[in-house]
Structure 1
């Protein structure tokens, strides 16, 4: 039986305010090291920025800017995993991704016409083209979790 050993585990809590982005980017720097490739780290950092921006602009738009957003990163020998927790309303993430997949597949699709949804489009691209596992689920009570997870490919 193979055991997946945790290499790194970090947590950050910030206010639901775009000004917290600098803190998140600075915190995320610590994950730019082996066994994470620079390409994977860059994908992950962009996903964190998009995920957090979506929390502030959409999930928490009706809540106080002081509402906390929790972020965790776990790195093991097998996976790079990010969780972003929000306190927004229930949202059908899979339906939104399916709708954007249909729109993006249309040859006349222009991403510049969909600025408010770039995050969703980007997450769809991570899932379809870069093999990220992405889900958005309702946790206990009134907390949602955006899970962003990718299998690590370790060269021996």
Structure 2
């Protein structure tokens, strides 16, 4: 038995505060705080990537849909965007083992991969992309 929550935001970095407020209001006592903080960081990174990269050429009103599933065994995050799809696994494999602090990019994907026990990005039949991040508890 678990719980399911969803939120839809526009593609605007100013929405991060609302995202964090929503996410943190849902933290169950059964999830270790270190895991929840890691998931919070991953969610903000995923949302920021969707705004900055997937939706960079789209109107600010373009929605980003987020779902959160929480059970005693795992937490699963889904984030849908309307950008051009890309091969997440190849991008992560192509990243250098160590990323320079002054690097323009790459840290976010590495961060997501390090926090998640499972990480997937796929094109859906409705034209959206879904990022799935699963963390085992």
Specify the TM-score bucket, using the shorter chain as the normaliser.
over 0.9
How far the C-alpha of 1:90 sits from its partner, in A, is 1.3
TM normalised by structure 1 equals: 0.83
How far the C-alpha of 1:110 sits from its partner, in A, is 4.3
Alignment counterpart, residue 109 of structure 2, candidates 120, 127, 134: 120
TM normalised by structure 2 equals: 0.93
Alignment counterpart, residue 28 of structure 2, candidates 30, 33, 50: 33
1:1-49 deviation line (CA, Å, top 9, x unaligned): xxxx12x211000001101101001001123232111011001000000
How far the C-alpha of 1:126 sits from its partner, in A, is 2.1
How far the C-alpha of 1:118 sits from its partner, in A, is 1.9
Higher share of residues assigned helix = 1
Runs of 4+ deviating beyond 6 Å: none
Please list every run of 5 or more consecutive structure 2 residues that lacks an aligned counterpart in the other structure: none
In the alignment of these two chains, the number of paired residues is 137
Please list every run of 5 or more consecutive structure 1 residues that lacks an aligned counterpart in the other structure: none
Pairwise CA RMSD: 1.3
Larger radius of gyration: 1
Q: Say whether residues 1:67 and 2:62 are aligned partners.
A: yes
Alignment counterpart, residue 98 of structure 1, candidates 90, 93, 98: 93
1:42-89 deviation line (CA, Å, top 9, x unaligned): 010000000000001111111111100000101012210100000111
